[in-house]
Structure 1
């Protein structure tokens, strides 16, 4: 029987994973390709890394890969790949920081889908935290109370980013139906789907500049391979509050990179929006109760 080796420093692993993922916007920008082609190569390099990793770790061949599971994983892969594409398009239309902050509304889409489609219950506390987060998105997007004019390109970038967050939420819910299947195997299925799905639309006729290959390989190997492996090894060994806090390393790194390397700083309104999103996200994930409310009698 295969035994699971103890994982040391799970909080450090998750923190490192979030820091790595926070650089994905810079990698996509420096690659210099259109979003579809960038995601195509992300899937290619991600598939190579994850296939090797799953084989070396003994996750493949997997007896639980039934036709039903494969179909569900493939459907989730379509959603995930489209999410990545819309997310990368948001970088080109707004900014790395803005896109990353708005994208973090995804946990609330998971809750909304659960309520509207899966008929799950929702509490008043959750509603308040969700409203708080959506107000934060409105402020962080730069579409309201902004001192600078907003172009249609910027608006479209925000819409695409919200669509990316919604698709990610759908992929997350679909992944829950895969039971005990290793998340690395699920991600491998998604990247394989991405290669087939995007190949007809990617610009493969044009020669990719030599300097771009390193950035593309990084997106596939670091952001889709190494970072995901670190996350999946850390999640089962960390409490929800720790995960909730460490997750915000991702947008913080993205904001710092966008400011330091691309001179895109957040205004007061956008910063306030991010704080509201952070409070709303932590409120839902950690089950915070509204102040001055008496608990319901048992």
Structure 2
């Protein structure tokens, strides 16, 4: 079973890393909000089917709907929209590199709101190095503007990516404080979360010309299969399968793969120019994440309960 779990680990990294080029393609035809909406729609369908087959949907869980709404906003709606908007303004490879900073924001929000998280010199160095990498990619000392052919970076696009990463970071903290104690299965939680996010987008999205994305078969398949079925539906199933078989700590290591995959896809398959400074910044982010994750110190009294947290 562990062999299958390691295969799922690599597959999940490839799926998440390739999401950025699919978002980039779709943004040429429809708005970022429409991209996020269609992504959750096509991701929710396989999740719902799988959850129904497993008997994971229960009427009594509706009493926790206020928590599901918060998670739907933080871990799906805001996150997906911000990343779609940021990717539309950046090279897909650069957007993918910035996504590697998610664990850094998770760590910072945990320090602020969770008593069991304690900083160590090693973890603080990691956070500083990681955020330094984000600053190198953003280049705030340069004039902001649209994405340039020479690989220039939009400060606004970077800000959206940071906002998405921060939203996900807050969702991990919220989940640990309020969702984990509910003792619900990961599959049911994911289904409720994506389902509510789908409803939110259904109400908030402007549908004008949303069908334009289906005029290009490549883009349509990337959105439906790449972002929706694989990048949202299957990705959640794979993630929690990895957690169950390898543990939460090992599963968190999958965050190292998407930036590398996104850069490889952008450079080799699409021909996007990537500056050496961006590559150096990505390395700084990944090293920072490694130092931050390996330098954690947890209060002994609740160490055991935190081991059971699976996002």
Give the superposition deviation at 1:62.
6.8
Matched, 1:265 2:273: yes
Alpha-carbon shift at residue 66 of structure 1 (Å): 5.0
CA contact 1:83–1:167 (8 Å) conserved in 2: yes
Aligned partner of 1:38 among 10, 22, 35? 35
* Residue 223 (structure 1) shift: 0.5
Question: 2:305 maps to which residue?
Answer: none
Q: 1:122 aligns with which of 116, 119, 124?
A: 119
Question: Contact 1:103–1:165 (CA<8 Å) still a contact in 2?
Answer: yes
Q: Aligned Cα RMSD in Å? A: 2.4
User: What are the superposed Cα offsets for residues 88-115 of structure 1, whole Å, 9 maximum, x if unpaired?
Assistant: 1111111112112222222122222122
The question of whether the paired residues in 1 share the 8 Å contact of 2:78 and 2:167 is answered with yes
**Deviation readout 1:96-152 (Å, 9 max, x if unpaired):** 1211222222212222212223344222221111111111111133445x7xx6426
Structure 1 gap segments, 5+ residues each:
1-5, 290-298
Tell me, in whole angstroms, the C-alpha distance in 2 between the residues paired with 1:242 and 1:193: 29
Q: 1:259 to 1:230 in 2, by over 3 A?
A: same
**Are positions 1:178 and 2:175 aligned together?**
no
Which digits, 9 at most, give the CA deviation of each residue in 1:219-255, with x for residues without a partner? 1111001122111101232256754554322111111
2:38 and 2:223 in contact (8 A); partners too: yes
Distance 1:95 1:241, change over 3 A: same
Q: Paired residue for 1:284?
A: 292
| Change in 2 beyond 3 A, CA 1:187/1:93 | same
Q: Matches of residues 135-174 of structure 1 in structure 2 within 5 Å?
A: 135-143=132-140, 150-151=144-145, 154-174=154-174
Superposition map of 1:52-91 within 5 A:
52-61=49-58, 65-67=61-63, 69-80=64-75, 81-91=77-87
Contact 2:98 2:259 in 1 (8 A): no
Is 1:16 the counterpart of 2:11? The answer is: yes
Per-residue deviation, 1:17: 1.0
Per the alignment, residue 294 of structure 1 pairs with none
Contact residue 105 and residue 277 of structure 1 kept, 8 A:
yes
Which of 189, 193, 199 pairs up with 1:190? 193
Aligned length: 279
Per mean C-alpha deviation after superposition, the further-off stretch among 239-248 and 203-212 is 239-248
Tell me how far apart the structure 2 counterparts of residues 225 and 111 of structure 1 sit (CA, whole Å).
Answer: 26
Q: Write the distance in 2 (CA, Å) between the matches of 1:106 and 1:116.
A: 16
What is the aligned partner in structure 1 of residue 306 from structure 2?
none
Q: Is the 8 A contact 1:76 1:170 kept in 2?
A: no
Contact 1:78 1:194 in 2 (8 A): yes
Q: Does 1:215 align with 2:209?
A: no
> In structure 2, what is the equivalent of residue 96 of structure 1?
92
What TM-score does the superposition give when structure 1 sets the normalisation length?
Answer: 0.85
Q: 8 Å contact 1:23–1:257 — kept in the other structure? A: yes
C-alpha distance after superposition, 1:130-187 (max 9, x if no partner): 111111111133445x7xx642671111111100100011122222222232222222
Kindly indicate which of the two structures has a greater share of residues assigned to helix.
Answer: 2
